[in-house]
Amino acid sequence: MNKKITILVLTLILITTSALSGCVDNSPESNSANTEDIQIISDDMLTVTDAYGRTVSIPKDVERTICVGAGCLRYLCYLGEQDTVVGVEDIEQREEDAHPRPYRLANPQFGDKQKYPYIGAFRGNYDAESIISLETAPQVIFLTYSTAEGADKLSNDVGGIPVVGIEYGDTAKDFNDMKEAIHLMGTVMDRSERAEDVIRFIEDEIKEIGSRTQGEDAVNLYIGGTAYRGSHGILSTQPDYPPFWYVNAKNIASGTLKTGDWEGYQVGDDALLQWDMDPGIDYVFLDLSIYDFSETGNPNTNEKYGVESLCEGGVYSGLEVAQDKQIYGVLPYNWYTTNHGNVLANAWYIGKQIYPEKFSDVYPEDKANEIYGFLYSGCPVNENIYEGVTESFGHGFGPIELV
């Protein structure tokens, strides 16, 4: 759709919505895009209001982009706009880091240093000189995990290239942030229809999972080994782990607070032992990134408990779930921030594991590939991504072997 037509349609929708303001749905599933903050300023330019409240002037037809910050490029790939990218952060060219990130598996071309020059280190540590020196200059830079001041500084550092800040969000408590980010990026890239399709797809998946488990007795679950700024051990968790919420289960670590310089969530050494007695742990799910920790550890933390801690003779081998072998592997939650496709795939697998009758028609591996196939439908690779994610870990969905 031509961007002028898109903006006209959005304006008409806004007028209609204003007239019916008494009927606006403020639920997390409502469309929260700031369409009123889009303005045409010339035949070639328009302005948008980004997540940091900044008014940014951008070209109407954006054909060249770069993404700075965790997860930013993932959203651009959801929209099928990976061909606009003219440079990438260093993490995209580390093949050893590609496998936990489905968007990178869907776009192997990002590993080509000749076609995709370096723009800086990952986590937003951009290199202004490298960006300015790009043979093909970006028209817009997307930025995550920053501030208005940070976005202004980046734009100033690279000679005034427009920077659009987005809040990455998640599919739980910060779902509106995620939806606004995808809507905003879709507006900038003239892919509003695709943005809406992506959001609707995710919402529909969550609804379907929840409908199958509604009214079931809640079970006590624990997620361990969740990555955050690197791989971690069994005590690393996620108190708002979305898949547990989708299947209407109880996350026994829901009260865990952030700990340490790495700002992740870590339970105490004896927490699992206490929860084993009260309220009891029905199932433990381990983020497959724990295998990376078990092999190499984490130089930035003092953790000492990997998968082996659950094995015979390990400090947690006496847990009832370990004795009953109710410990299962799930796909990496975080790897350069949250992998939303993995989150959905994990929810389907967890649902089938704890409520097998309710998910008897679901084959989790196929479901995972179906999810990736939709999210990356416009990317060079959109089949068998599940196999790529699990290959390097040597493990996928299924029981964790404790020996």
Helix (H, G, I), strand (E, B), or coil: what is residue 327? Answer: strand
Residue 142 phi, psi (nearest 5): -95, 140
Q: Which domains does the chain have, with CATH numbers?
A: 3-190 (3.40.50.1980), 215-399 (3.40.50.1980)
Query: 261 or 230: which carries more pLDDT confidence?
Result: 230
With contact defined as beta carbons under 8 Å apart, do 151 and 163 qualify? yes
Residue 109 phi, psi (nearest 5): -60, -25
User: Residue 403: pLDDT band by 50, 70, 90 thresholds?
Assistant: confident
With contact defined as beta carbons under 8 Å apart, do 14 and 129 qualify? no
Q: Report pLDDT digits (tens) over 15-25.
A: 333 333 333 23
Q: Report pLDDT digits (tens) over 189-222.
A: 999 999 999 999 999 999 999 999 998 888 999 9
Q: Report pLDDT digits (tens) over 312-330.
A: 999 999 999 999 999 999 9
Does residue 42 have a pLDDT over 90? no
Cβ burial of 32 (10 Å; 0-12, 13-18, 19+) is: middle
Q: Report pLDDT digits (tens) over 330-356.
A: 999 998 899 999 999 999 999 999 999
List all residues 6 or more positions away from 298 whose beta carbon is below 8 Å from its beta carbon: 230, 231, 232, 233
With contact defined as beta carbons under 8 Å apart, do 51 and 166 qualify? yes
Q: Report pLDDT digits (tens) over 252-290.
A: 999 999 887 777 899 999 999 999 999 999 999 999 999
How far apart are the C-alpha atoms of 72 and 330, rounded to whole Å? 23
- Cα dihedral 389, 391, 392, 395 sign: positive
Angle subtended by helix axes 192-213 and 340-354, to nearest 10: 20
Angle subtended by helix axes 340-354 and 364-375, to nearest 10: 160
Beta strands in 17-162 (DSSP E): 39-40, 45-49, 55-59, 65-68, 120-121, 125-126, 140-144
With contact defined as beta carbons under 8 Å apart, do 371 and 325 qualify? no
Token pair listed for 37: 């903050």
